[in-house]
Each structure stands twice: as structure tokens, then as C-alpha cells.
A = this chain, B = another copy of it.
């Protein structure tokens, strides 16, 4: 998928919502545990109930790997289900990978070719040759951590490095890498005031914004400071939507939560586009 196609989908659906798929067997409705693949059944129901309100799904690989081979099979079924039934939806493997060049190539192959995701999240610590193998894939997108939504973000990401915070240096340096037009960035919603500075460095890039919902970020603040003239935001919500109810009405309640966020987004889009 191209960023232009993603942009068009956002305007059409009046939504820049991405739903995080973090399926935890201790949290999903108990009646699903009787099915053969509870994780897939859970994801499928959430997807069917929300696909017209969202432009993206972001399965978090940890929540599949924790269940071993069975979990990896659920991940494959989930991405296949999205690609077959809702091919216009932007898919993100939230994997936060990154390693030396030949290893990153194998990760890129895993997520872009074997699983056929549109994008994957990566960590910047190992630098250029750990990220460029991902960037080499045409019409695939590499979403690099810049400023994350957790407390630990302040341990290293905001350290002063030669006069600027590390996350700003990460953004600036990454723009010099080959095929950097395939980069997007993770910027946590819990730090809306940082978006102004970030937009000075990467005015045109899509930002994936976690931290809305369970982590406490404000959608209007994020849009005020982070939106660009192509929208340029994918706002992720996971727990607040997928665990809106633990009962048999979980998909219906998930839709209600997603609809509530999408309505707020529609108002913002109508006002600005």
C-alpha cells in the first residue's frame, strides 16, 4: 500500500484509527476459550465489528509469541483474514525488531513476505544498517521508534545529545538513510507537547501514535500539534477497544468504543480537510 492510498482511505472513512490487537488469554471473553483457536476467534470478531471505522490493525507480536507455535499460527490466520477480507486496511506488525544487516533482512522477509504485512515497527538503537534492509521493500513501510509512550522513554530518548534530545537526533539521522521515504515514526500520545518539535523535523511523515485510551493520551491534543496537511497520523488504541467488555457482547462494545473515537476523528477531519 502507498501512503497516498492510506491518505485516501483516511479521508474516505473519516478515520485515522488503528486498532491494536493484543490478545491475552487471561483477558479475552471466557466463552471463546472453548473454541479451537480463541486468539484468532477474538481477533476475527473484533475485526469484523470495527473494520469500517478503522484504517489499520496492529497485531502486537509479543501477544502471539507468548503462546508459541499456536500463537504464531493465530498471527498468520489473523493477518491472512485481514488481507483476504479487508485488503484496503493498513496492517502493522508491531514487532520492534532491529539487528545487524543480514539479520534485519530476515526479519523484513518474515513480516513483509512471509506474513505480508504492510509495515513493521523497528527499534533505532543499532542504527542505519539495522533499519535499511526494511526500507528496501517497495510499498512497505518501516515504523521506527522515536519517542515512545511509556515512562522509560525518559531514560534515554530524551537525553541531551550534542544539544538536542536523542529522539530528535534519531529522527534527523534517519532522514539520511536510503529509501527513507518508506519511514514512519512511533510517537507516544502521552507527550502531545512534543509533536510541534517533531513536525519541524519530519513534517511529511506518518506518525503512529500509541497511548490513546488505556495509557491516557488526549486525541485532540495529538491532532492539534501532530496533524499535517495529509493528516499524517495513525492513532492506535488497543485495550480500551478490544477489552471494552469481557462478556459475549465484547465485539459490540468494541465497536461502540471504536465508533466513539472515529466520531471524534470525523469532526476533526471535517473541520480541517
Distance (Å) between the CB of A237 and the closest chain B CB?
A: 14
Given the interface pairs A69-B73, A107-B66, the reply to whether A125 lies near B157 with Cβ below 8 Å is yes
Q: How far is the CA of A160 from the CA of B162 in the complex (A)?
A: 6
Number of copies of chain A assembled together:
2
Distance (Å) between the CB of A46 and the closest chain B CB?
A: 18
A 61-92 binary contact with B (CB < 8 Å = 1; else 0): 01101111101110010000000000000000
Identify the interface centre among A76, A99, A104, A131: most chain B CB within 10 Å of its CB.
A99
- Across the interface, do B148 and A126 meet the contact criterion of CB distance under 8 Å? yes
- Across the interface, do A127 and B153 meet the contact criterion of CB distance under 8 Å? yes
- Across the interface, do B156 and A130 meet the contact criterion of CB distance under 8 Å? no
Distance (Å) between the CB of A77 and the closest chain B CB?
A: 10
- Across the interface, do B125 and A145 meet the contact criterion of CB distance under 8 Å? yes
Distance (Å) between the CB of A114 and the closest chain B CB?
A: 4
- Across the interface, do B129 and A152 meet the contact criterion of CB distance under 8 Å? yes
A 33-73 binary contact with B (CB < 8 Å = 1; else 0): 00000000000000000000000000010110111110111
Given the interface pairs A60-B99, A150-B100, A155-B173, the reply to whether A65 lies near B106 with Cβ below 8 Å is yes
Distance (Å) between the CB of A2 and the closest chain B CB?
A: 25
Known contacts A96-B97, A100-B150, A125-B148; 6 further A-B pairs (Cβ under 8 A): A94-B99, A123-B126, A126-B152, A130-B150, A156-B173, A159-B161
